[in-house]
Amino acid sequence: MNSVLNVLLRRAAAALMARRWSRLATLAAVVALAGLGAFTALESDLAAKPVAGGQPSAAGYTLAGRVVRVADGDTFTLLAGGRQQRVRMASIDAPEVTKDRERPGQPHAQASKDALAALIAGKAVTLNCYERDRYDRNVCDVPLGGGATASRKQVAAGMAWANMEGRGKFMRDPALPALERQARQARLGIWQQADPVSPWAWRYQCWQQQRC
């Protein structure tokens, strides 16, 4: 009788210990999952963190400030939060201005620069930005109201190309190729030339290969 009772007691104790370990394992799993969730949230937050002066947006981040300098037909400087931010307009490429003796400019470069200045110089703007490029410039769209952007205005006026360098890997606005075709047909701006050279081809052929 005592041996049977001892067996039953041992089985009961084993079952109790098993339940305790099961509860501990469940608790450990919950804690681990909670920690993983917190880490994932932190990782996501860090990945989404915008550059200084920016706020998250559908494009990536926004920059708000005043345009203080226009360098050429697709590049300008924005004063945002007390800091100067260099901006490269998304999806377009404008004629290159002269950099130095080894890097001469293209036809219509000054006209393109003047056209962009007329659109944004001295104005307060809020940019929709995607990333920083290898030159530490913010790559952004410049909304002008009514669905227009500075990039669309430049292309529609024949003051810039829809940027199809690298088979369009820099193209983010699908409306631009059609606007370029319309400007080409109307022979506006750069399209007044018989055979205009795209800026990405100019940088390679003229600046790198010295075949201007």
Residues annotated catalytic, as ranges: 88, 96, 137
How would you classify residue 8: left for phi > 0, otherwise alpha for psi between -120 and 50, otherwise beta? alpha
Is 194 strand, coil or helix? coil
Which amino acid, residue 109?
A
Cα–Cα dist 210/212, whole Å = 6
Q: What are the tokens at 25?
A: 């394992």
Cα–Cα dist 67/75, whole Å = 11
Reference 127, options 51, 53, 50, 64; nearest CA is 64
Strand partners, 127: 63
What residues contact 155, with CB distance under 8 A and at least 6 apart? 92, 161, 162, 176, 179, 180, 183
Q: Are 109 and 72 in contact (CB under 8 A)?
A: yes
Cα–Cα dist 143/164, whole Å = 21
Is 123 strand, coil or helix? coil
